[in-house]
Structure formats: C-alpha cells, structure tokens
Structure 1
Amino acid sequence: MRSSTSVIIGVLAATMSLGQPTVAGAAPGEPAYRLWRGDPKLQSHGVDIDRMIADFVRKNDLPGIAMAIVQAPYIPRSAGYGVTDRQRDELASTKTMWSVGPLTQAFTAVAIMQLKEAGKLAIDDPAEKHLPNLPPAWRTVTIKELMQHASGIPDFRGAGYDAAKRCAPGQLVDLVRAAPLQFEAGTDVRLSATNFVLLGLIIERASGMSYEDHITRHQIEPLRLESTMFFRDFSKKSFLDRPAKPGFNQHSKFHTEVPFINPVEPAVGYVESGGKLTPIAPDATANLYAYGGLWSSAQDISAWDIALAGAVLVKDEADRDFIYKPTRLANGRIVPAMAGWEFTPHGFMEVKGNGPGFSAYLSRFTAADELVCVTLLTNKEGVDLTELARAIADAYNRGLGAGADPSVLLTQESKFGVAETVQRLKAELAAQNVPVFATFDHAQNASEAGLPLRPTSVVVFGNPKVGTKLMQERQAAAIDLPLRVSVWQDDRNRVWVGRQNMDALGTTYGIEDTATLAAIDKLLARLVAKSANVYAY
C-alpha cells in the first residue's frame, strides 16, 4: 500500500510540476489540447470584468445584474452585482431569478423538437392540425414558419395589448385574429410574440399537459435547474424572507431553515419613467407565456446552455441544426435568425431582448477555438447588453471582440455583410429623418489607388440642431462632428459596426451638456442595433 501510494504521489508531483497537462510526444510544457483555457487575468483592453460591469451599472442606472460564463463543460464564473429590490436588503446572487423574457423562445423551440422526436408532431405540420378554428389566413402557416418568425402573423403587443391586464394565451391570439397577415407566410422574417404563443398552445395540445409543465418536466427538472420556473411556481419554489417589521437586517430565517441560505429569490423588475425607476408586478411576465414567461438565474441559463451543445435535450443532431442555424425560407432566401436566435457566419449566435421590468442576453461562440458563452440578466427594462457581453467574452478569449478600444469606439457584430449593413443603417436614418451628409467607401478608394483593403465604409450624418449645441459649448469638438458610423469586415470575415463613444467625446472636450450627449448616444445605439440585427427589439 505504501509503495502504491508513493508511486501515485510521484506521478502527481511530476504532472503538477509542469503546470499544464501534457501528452506523449508533446514538448515539455506544451498543453495536451489545442484549446487551452484558464487564464486568471480576465481583461479586455486593460479593463477587468468587474470594472466593466460596475461602469455599465453606473451608466445605465441598473438596480442589479447577474453574469455567468460558460467554457463547456464548466461555468467558471457566476456572480451577482447590486440589488434585486431597491426597497429591501435583497442582493443579486448566483440563485437570483430574473425574468429572461425572449430567451424563453429558446426553451420553447427545444420543446417543439422534443415533441417532434417523440413522434407527436412534425415541423411541417400546419398549425391548424393542432389548433382548430384558426383564422382562414393562418391555416396554411406551419410550425416551422412559427419558429422562424416567418408566419406573417402580427404581434399582439402592437394590437391594443394592455400589459397591466392578465390575459390567457387565447385572449392574446384574439387581439390579432382579425388582422391581415403582414406578409405571405414563408417569404420574410419579422419578430412576433404571437408566433410563440401559438407554439405554446401547440405544445399543450401535442403533449397533453400545460406548456409550463412540459418545460418543467423535460428541461428544468432533468437539468436540476432550481432557479428556473414560471411565476405560478414562486409560492412553492422561491424563498423570500420579508418580515413585516424587519430589524437592522431583513433576514433571519437562514439561521434555522436551509432553503434560506443563498435562497432562490425573484428579482423585482423596473421600468424607467420620467427619470425614475418604477417597479413592475412579477405576474406581468405570465402574459408572455411561451415567448417570454420564464424566470431563471444566469447560472441556470448557463447550465441549460451547456446541455444545448450535445444530445441531452435534443437527441438528433439534425434537429439541433434546425433550431441553431439560419432560417431558409420557402423562396430560398437565407435569413440569419431562428426561434429568437441570431447568427453570424463564423459560429456566433445570440438571443436577447426585454420583458416587463427586465432585460436578458445569452451569446454562444461555437467555433472550436472560441467556445465561450455569456449570460447577462438585469432588472431594468430596455437595456441593450450586447456590447457589454462581447467585452466580457473578449476578456475570456482575446480576439472575440472587434479589436477596438471601447473607451473610444463601441462595436457590435453585424449579422449581415458590409453593403447590407450600410443599406440598413441608411434606411433607419431615413426613417428617423436624419440627413446623411456623406458615405465613404474606403475599399473602393483603396482599389482605385491600387491598394488592397477589405470592405470598409463610413456613413456621416447628423442633425445640426443637436450637434451645434455641443459646438456652442466647445467649438473644438467640431473635428468629431457630424456623427459617423463605421462598418468593416475583418480578417476573419466578421462584419463590425462601430459608433463613437460619447462619454469619451464629452471627456475629451470637457463638454458639460450631458443631456445632449446622452441623447446622441441613445440615437447611435438604436441605429447600430437596427443595422446589425435581424429582429427589431
């Protein structure tokens, strides 16, 4: 026994002395695998992740935010920042539940494929096969087209929907039952929550159980996601310690009851109105059903995300490919989106959006040399988490960002080529009556000079009534005005959209008109989102 133990200790000591695993034939000190992870220095452009998040929380006036990182099969980091209720001593933690809003679509899509694999439906089934008495115009719409957001069925949220009123799924459908299709089914893609309400009802008919029960039994329970549930489950599965008369410390039950140690708690959602944050009742999320009714923690979303990578939830690789690859419409057109997810050609995918009082984001880098996933959840509605998530990903795997310092240039990856991205940008500028002063095609100019350059364009635009305010205060700022957005393709064929960081412009010239700077920043962010994304968020 002593001899065996000595041998084992000797082997362990020899292995540990190298600092990294090795394999036979590998040079001393070289990693055993081409992908090597675990660098404890997590920074992007000299800024560590905690500072990124702290700065983002301050700038956007967030009550709280949660983050979790996947480097499959691990979740190396899960953390909460701030509070989940501004009126109580409730902190964002690893078990805090946030409304994940449109991320619910991804769970719904998995449920559809599970039922397909169980032989209870087919993707090409007309929706009417499972939901009798649909309007005549909807009867040929298929389950596939609902998943693709290619049905043409209008979004109930733009048809007299009252978020303060509790509605059953059928009542939501009734809001648009008499409305004409926005386009012929299978010819275009447009985000509509109604599509996923109908998918939720189809899941109920095909499975013989409620939508919530199906998601719970076939996704939440098998993965042991204790912080993932629906509003209906709060009374039994969440643990809020809110005494009628709290003392110095609100909490006391954790002294005697185990569930209250790092408890599963729902966050309070907020919406900004008149410069103030107003709390939203948690049951407001129930209306959004199979489109946006789920609550979860960042850590649970990350665990579920790991399960997506293989056959844990969806067995057949072809079925996984169907929901995790771009949409091919009946007319042959390819749209880089599916079931709430958006895609780029090199293996990046993201699903994001807002629910009542909350904003949510999940990204996946699926290329073999990337393999990072970022989940961000916050309890303030209307917050775009895209740029923050990309900076965090770049800290874990340098090169996942655009290579531009975000203190100067804020970037998002476009789902389209340079020319289409520029066209979408100009269309949005026209829709907002913002004049375009010039467009520079640097690649064409380089070609005329006999020099190579990947596609690179700059669109210059602005509103003199706004920009003049900044120059009236600091004329030197004229060198950075009018506004401009750059669009370029990098050496990995990724297309980036870059916008000026207005905080940097204000600091550089000492501009004190923060209201105008904030308004410009909001405009630029909206323009970039419209030009870079398939869905309108």
Structure 2
Amino acid sequence: MRERHIPGLQIVVVKKQKVVLSKAFGVASLQYGVPVTDASVFSINSATKSFTGVAVMQLVEQGKLELQAPAAHYLPDLPAEWQAVTVAQLLAHTSGLPDILDQRTSGLIAGSPEASWKAVQKLPMEFAPGQRFSYNQTNYLLLGKIIDRLSGEPFLQFIQRKQFDAVGMPNTSFGDSLDIIKNKANSYRLAGDGTTLKNVIEDFTPSMRTGAGINSSAQELAKWIVALQQGRLLKPASLGQLWQPSVYSDGKPAPWAMGWPAIRRGEHRAVAGIGGGRSAFYVYPDDDLAIIILSNLAGGQPEQLIDTVAGYYVPALRKINGGGYALYRLREQFGAASFDNIDQKLRQVTEKYAVSAPSDGALNGWGYRLLAQRQTKSAIAVLALAAQRYPDSANAHDSLAEAYEADSAKELAIRHYRRSLELNPGNQQAIDRLKLLE
C-alpha cells in the first residue's frame, strides 16, 4: 500500500467456500480520516460485468435466451451490420461493434446517452464478429437492453433481486458520485507527480451500468462468489458455461469468458472481475480458492497482488507466480523495452547477483502475464527462454505453443504442441489444440 500510495484497502480470502482471511486497512476518506472497516463499500467499476454475465446465464436457465443466438433476435431494431453479432460475443468483447465511449475522454461519444446511442449505430464495425478481441462498452449497453426486454424489468432491479437480495448483500448497490451511498469509500487518483492524491468523480450513466456502477464490500463479494460455487445463483452446468473461456471464429482461445476475464496460470485456471484499476476478485475454480482485493485508488492495480496472495494458499501458484530474486532482476531489465537477447541478460543477472536462474514455472507465469496483457511478442520471448532452458518441460512447450498460436504462427504452435504431447501424452490441452490446427 505504501509503495502504491493506496489510501484504503479490503482483502478477503475464501478457501473451500469459507472465509479464511478478512482484513481492512487504511482510510476510506483522507479528508476526514475515516478508517476502512469491513462495512466500507468500494466502487468495483468494470468488475460489474461479472454480475451481468451471471444475469445473462440466469435468463439462459429460464429458457428465455441462447448465448449463440444473434443479439438482434432479442433486439430486432439493431443496424444491419450488427445483425450477426451473438450474445456470447457481446459478453466476451469479440463482437466488433464500435464503442459508444470516446477512448480519449472516457465520455460518451455524443454527449447525452440518447445522442450517443444514435451516433454509435452509424459508425462502422471495427472487425467481423468473432475475429478478435476489443474491449468496449457498447457490448454491455446491448446486454442491458436484452435483460430489460427478457426479464420484464429494468436490469438494475433484475440484478438487485436475483443476485444482491438472493445472496444477502444489503450494502451492495448501483450508484456513482451523485448518489449518497452509505459507508462508501472516497475514490482517489495519483496526480502527474506520482505522489499527490486527487479526488475522483465517478459518473456511471444509468443505462451503462451493466458495464460499471456496482459498489460493494469484499465480504459481500465473497458471499456472492460462494453462492455461485454452491449453486444458489446458477446450476453447476451454467456456472461452467459462465467461466468457460470463449474462442474466436477460427477456434483460437480468446481472453474473456462470459463477462469474466479468463486467466491461465500454468495448469491453474482462474476467472476474474477487474475494475478501474482499483478493485479485483479472482476465482481459481480447480483450487477452490477466491481472493477479493478492493481499494479506493484508481490505478492501484490490486489485481497484480492477487496471484502473490494466492501463492500462500496454493503452493503451486507461488511457484508459478513468484520466481525469486533472479526473475525480479530479469524483469527489471525490460519494462517496456524490447525483449531481445533475453537469454544473454539472464546470464548477466545470474552472474552479477550470484543467484540461480528462475524455474520453468516462474518463467511460465511471467510469460502468461505478458500474454494476458496482449504483449504477445514479449510473451513469446519469455516462454521461448523457458522452453530453451527446460527442454524436457511439457508445460513450457505447451505455453510457448499457446503464445505462437496467439501470434498466428501456426506451424510453430503445432511444433511445440507436438513436443509437449511427446513429453506428456496426457496433455489434453495439446490434444485439443492440435485437432483444430492440423
């Protein structure tokens, strides 16, 4: 918190569907010195999309909606170019639709919601549906319209009734800086000098609140995650669909599931809700682990801390996400710079600091984080180093193949999937990908 200048923070860890850690730190209001408590609520910004994903799956269970159906089936007045976009593509940000938000200002493209809705429908598609990933808010605006139409009530009420009330989340609500929200932690941002904190005014247009706008506490989010895991909000099969990573139209894996970023940490998959660079929750389904970290600093990036915390509860994740001093020093060599000569730089680090080289798991974890950030070339450099230093590691070759596939280097992907399969004939990931690629 000191290094990142985070004023206030909550953390909750859920293991085997029970809270095993719950802490509150710092202040909710710098102006008045109000401490953060378990009852404090924080804006979760775009992590709201995870709740929208659940709402959509609840409509699927009711037989009112199909994920692979065109959104136009439920909203017939959409522009002709939008007619082929599916509900699943809206959830996974692979629709190709133009964004209703101006990326330069983060405001609506034409001022008012009504004018912006008219304007966005006249803009060209960014790409053919399912072709690639592009995060935008038009997707979730449409999902809100679909929920309104199929549920028979405004999506705000549907989510309140079917999730907040169903779980018992009395302090969780929709709202922004114009609303009076009990126990709300003030939001801050670092000024240009990197140390001075400034107030943040949150403005979440009501029609856009399927994409951002929920305020909650770490404890209430933990209750919600446990309710999901226990089948109280969705059936197990629906939860599996919700958390299944989506694919592009060519069969390659895409970075999001249905409203949740899909994250792979070696053999340890995770799904997440991440919002505003200030709030995040990760669920590791196969490890029966969930971690929630909420803060009141926009840009504090608490999601970067979650994997480290996870390592204390699942030792294998510590190996993947850690890496020790050598990896720390190696990362220092790059930053945003080119990853050329990474093997030479690793030798220099190990000699200079008299330390062992990072493990294959540590390099693998770093490579995956770069891949998740869409730094594909850098990820390939790191994962190729892992495969070079650990040539008998099936996981290293599998990960490198995945990176090559993301870079459309089909032959290289096939080569390393094959090598991974030679080393580990039971690698189902390699088997499945080779079926699609060959």
TM-score by structure 2 length?
0.73
Q: For structure 2, which runs of at least 5 residues remain unmatched after alignment?
A: 380-402, 407-438
The percent of aligned pairs where both chains have the same amino acid is: 24
Instruction: Report if the CA contact (8 A) 1:152-1:184 is conserved.
Output: yes
1:437-494 deviation per Cα after TM superposition (whole angstroms, max 9, x unaligned): 41439xxxxxxxxxxxxxxx9699xxxxxxxxxxxxxxx9x958xxxxx997439xx9
Q: How does 1:314-325 map to 2 (within 5 A)?
A: 314-315=234-235, 317-325=236-244
C-alpha contact (below 8 Å) 2:279/2:293 kept by paired residues: yes
Kept in 1: contact 2:101–2:108 (CA 8 A): no
Which residue, 331, 354, 361 being the options, matches 1:490? 361
- Cα deviation, residue 181, structure 1: 1.6
**2:197 aligned to which of 262, 277, 281:** 277
Change (3 A) 1:498 1:130: closer
Instruction: Report the Cα distance in structure 2 between the residues aligned to 1:105 and 1:458, rounded to whole angstroms.
Output: 40
Question: Higher mean Cα deviation, 124-133 or 204-213?
Answer: 124-133
- Match of 2:124, as an amino acid? P
1:298-447 aligned within 5 A: 298-315=218-235, 317-338=236-257, 339-344=259-264, 346-355=267-276, 359-367=278-286, 370-402=287-319, 404=322, 409-410=327-328, 434-440=337-343
User: Are 1:137 and 2:81 matched, yes or no?
Assistant: yes
Q: Which letter does structure 1 place at the counterpart of 2:365?
A: W
Retained in 2: the 8 A contact 1:168–1:287?
A: no
2:2 to 58, 72, 77: 58
CA change 1:172–1:81 in 2 (3 A) is farther
Q: CA deviation at 1:131?
A: 2.3
- What is the CA-CA distance between 1:75 and the residue it aligns to? 1.2
Equivalent position SS for 1:318 = helix
* Counterpart contact for 1:336–1:343, Cα < 8 Å: yes
Match of 1:128 in 2: 72
Residues 294-333 of structure 1: CA deviation (Å, up to 9, x unaligned): 1111111111111221321112x33222210111333322
Task: State the shift of 1:183 in Å.
Answer: 1.4
> What is the CA–CA distance in structure 2 between the aligned matches of 1:397 and 1:174, rounded to whole Å?
49
- Kindly indicate whether the alpha-carbon contact (under 8 Å) linking 1:436 and 1:459 is maintained by their aligned counterparts in 2: no
1:178 deviation in Å? 2.4
Q: What residue identity is the alignment partner of 1:398?
A: P
Distance 1:435 1:375, change over 3 A: closer
Spell out, residue by residue over 1:115-153, the C-alpha distance to the aligned partner (whole angstroms, 9 max, x if none): 111122222222122223322211111111111211011
Q: How far apart in 2 are the matches of 1:526 and 1:495?
A: 10
**Aligned equivalent of 1:296:** 216
Q: Distance in 1 between matches of 2:166 and 2:19?
A: 18
Change (3 A) 1:169 1:402: farther
Aligned equivalents of 2:18, 2:100: Cα separation in 1: 39
Return the offset for 1:214. 0.6
- Pair 1:327–1:405, CA change in 2 (3 A): closer
Which of 237, 255, 268 does residue 186 from structure 2 map onto?
A: 268
Contact 1:342-1:349 at 8 Å conserved across structures: yes
Q: Report the counterpart of residue 177 of structure 1 in structure 2.
A: 121
Q: Does 2:123 align with 1:193? A: no
Q: Which has the higher helix share?
A: 2
- The alignment partner of 1:212 has SS state of helix
**Cα separation, 1, equivalents of 2:117 and 2:271:** 27
Distance in 2 between the 1:161 and 1:435 partners?
30
Structure possessing the higher radius of gyration over alpha carbons: 1
CA distance in 2, matches of 1:63, 1:94: 15
Residues 140-193 of structure 1 show CA distances to partners (whole Å, capped at 9, x for unaligned) of 111111112110113333356554999776555445322222211022222222
The answer to whether the 8 Å contact 1:169/1:197 transfers is no
Structure 2 distance, partners of 1:161, 1:498, is 32
Partner deviation per Cα, 1:236-289 (whole Å, 9 max, x = no partner) = 8x43xxxxxxxxxxxxxxxxxxxxxxxxx1111112223322212344475741
Q: Report the Cα distance in structure 1 between the residues aligned to 2:324 and 2:296, rounded to whole angstroms.
A: 24
Q: Distance in 2 between matches of 1:314 and 1:144?
A: 17
Instruction: Return the offset for 1:64.
Output: 0.6
- Asked if the contact 2:262/2:271 (under 8 Å) is kept, the reply is yes
| C-alpha contact (below 8 Å) 1:163/1:284 kept by paired residues | no
Compute the displacement of 1:221 (Å).
Answer: 0.1
Larger proportion of strand: 1
Say if 1:172 and 1:194, in contact at 8 Å, map to a contact too: no
- Measure the CA separation in 1 of the matches of 2:72 and 2:7: 44
CA distance 1:165–1:277, shift in 2 (3 Å) = farther
Q: For residue 195 of structure 1, report the CA deviation from its aligned partner.
A: 1.0
Deviates more, 1:275-284 or 1:205-214: 275-284
2:173 and 2:188 mapped to 1: Cα distance? Answer: 20
Residue ranges of structure 1 left out of the alignment (5+ in a row)? 1-56, 240-264, 412-427, 442-456, 461-475, 481-485, 500-524
The structure-2 alpha-carbon separation of the partners of 1:436 and 1:109, relative to structure 1 and needing over 3 Å to count, comes to closer
Over the aligned positions, Cα root-mean-square deviation in angstroms equals 3.8
- Which residue is 2:158 aligned to? 214
Question: What displacement does 1:399 show?
Answer: 3.0
1:406/1:195 Cα in 2 relative to 1: closer, same or farther (>3 Å)? farther
How far did 1:223 drift?
0.4
Q: How far is 1:222 from its partner?
A: 0.7
Alignment of 1:221-260 (within 5 A): 221-231=165-175, 238-239=181-182
Note if 1:107 corresponds to 2:25.
Answer: no
Query: Normalization by structure 1: what TM-score?
Result: 0.60
8 Å Cα contact 2:82-2:97 kept in structure 1? yes
Contact 1:63 1:84 in 2 (8 A): yes
Q: 1:182 to 1:78 in 2, by over 3 A?
A: same
